[in-house]
Structure 1
């Protein structure tokens, strides 16, 4: 029998830097006070990698001691971890948490993970790295708009559902079409069993644009102060490399660029540190915009509009009250 995440679990999600971690901990406390308790399951595609702590804002020792956490540090960063593997791991942990009389509480901001838990998973063909490399080369040559127009010709449904700047999903949709001869949208239809928000406990924290951007800028500044550059140096020391997914993570890709073009022997590099910080902040803002688009496409989500001066405790009280 397929596990029903939508009714058996709670979710606290939202764009990056929206305050999910703190609110999740507060909700776990309230669920404990009402009986049974909760354990937190990460809903973050980069937190699965060991050693990638600062750039992912991974829950620290104090937070993990406060409430049991799962689905973090599952792989080394030179390995891949598929959405299918995540879903299998999530189901195993969620069933175990429920068996112990507690509530699985997913906290994180990876929309693809959220969608696969709520609506099932279309795995599609395995990655064709040669074809994907060719498509990515075309992306660099012609631009994302051209590839989106090409997708619209072969799969107008997918093109209408994928943001015109979402290069990764556009490339994947074209890859699936070229590999199978069938539009990815046709193959995904059986996994689109949506539910109304009233039947689910899926809460999306939503802040106004100015507040969200300010929090993103502060988050990036804090990560750099905590030592993100040295973290990446350590992950790539002694000839080690990051895997395809880990190397594309927001913040890590920009720091890798910085380290490979850093000033040497008094010669200015392509990127200095202030420029790197600006690049991370700009890409994080774009990523947050894409996250918001994803969440709006899921009928299961209840949006919680958060004021800039509202505490995590106050937000948690509102969510628990709305959940009934």
Structure 2
């Protein structure tokens, strides 16, 4: 059994994109006497503010926020690096006598914090080279479609352009005959939702889709195009990880004359809805998650009280 993980007894507020986590998180942090640690794989990048719906300066001033704006968009950042940084922040926050509240929508980060990292079987270089040749021949999209058939949970978390992780997932399946996500779950020491403080905000699907569409329009009005222009000025490129953020590639295509403004916005809306669907698949696969159904305008303080009342008094990690 893996050693106790520092994050097991932290608080988590998560949910798919555009659920309304940030405002509710402030009320929950106030109720708990907590500081917020970002659970967002794109909020770590400096300058990527509008397209990632990063907490506003006012929100960050109201409650201390951590692991936001820590690296440049040209740099890559791994899950292992995030977990190490998060554990360090947990220790700092507890040293101040406060609670740690993770807020954001990156399920892979959430899973790594709750269960540790799964390294998988050793690399099979012959298989890996074989799959690399297939990628060169048929492209990422075809390989991603194959992964969706054999391991939809893994496919939901791996972007079609993330060639490295795509190859690794296919390699593990061909080497072992088992989907990598199933092996991760067998490795994991999962607990039930009743034993955890992991709360997933969930809205009705039509409302969620409408909120996504509204957010994309709002981002455009707030200056998403200008933000991407600044990030890519003087020939600069987004790194492999940062370029996976929904919306940025579409704006780059618009700036290059490959799309008009209307098709750019529609493509961002479509990709964001698809991203939210993949997030939902992940959350449903994690036994630790407790869903909190909300609708319309939410009384953040009342919902924070509801969440605290539903949480176990103490959370014991694995021994």
Give the TM-score taking structure 2 as reference length.
0.85
How is 1:78-227 mapped onto 2 (pairs within 5 angstroms)? 78-123=74-119, 135=135, 138-140=138-140, 142=142, 144-149=144-149, 152=150, 159=151, 161-163=153-155, 168=160, 172=165, 174-176=167-169, 178=171, 181-182=175-176, 184=180, 188=184, 191-227=187-223
Q: Does the alignment pair 1:280 with 2:268?
A: yes
Tell me, in whole angstroms, the C-alpha distance in 2 between the residues paired with 1:59 and 1:137: 42
When the two chains are superposed, the root-mean-square deviation of aligned CA atoms in Å is 2.8
Tell me, in whole angstroms, the C-alpha distance in 2 between the residues paired with 1:211 and 1:289: 14
Q: Are 1:132 and 1:171, in contact at CA under 8 Å, matched by a contact in 2?
A: no
Q: Are 1:78 and 1:246, in contact at CA under 8 Å, matched by a contact in 2?
A: yes
Q: Deviations over 1:260-284 (max 9, x none)?
A: 2x2xxxxxxx311111111111110
Unaligned 5+ residue runs, structure 1? 32-36, 153-158, 263-269
- How many residue pairs are counted as aligned between the two chains? 301
Q: Does the alignment pair 1:4 with 2:6?
A: yes
Tell me, in whole angstroms, the C-alpha distance in 1 between the residues paired with 2:47 and 2:136: 28
More off after superposition, 300-309 vs 164-173: 164-173
Unaligned 5+ residue runs, structure 2? 313-319
Gap change, CA 1:230 and 1:84, over 3 Å in 2: same
Q: Does the alignment pair 1:317 with 2:313?
A: no
Corresponding position of 2:20:
19
Secondary structure of residue in 2 paired with 1:75: coil
Gap change, CA 1:206 and 1:133, over 3 Å in 2: farther
Report 1 or 2 for greater relative contact order, CA contacts < 8 Å, sequence distance ≥ 6. 2
Give the TM-score taking structure 1 as reference length.
0.84
Tell me, in whole angstroms, the C-alpha distance in 1 between the residues paired with 2:63 and 2:142: 48
Corresponding position of 2:236:
240
More off after superposition, 189-198 vs 217-226: 189-198
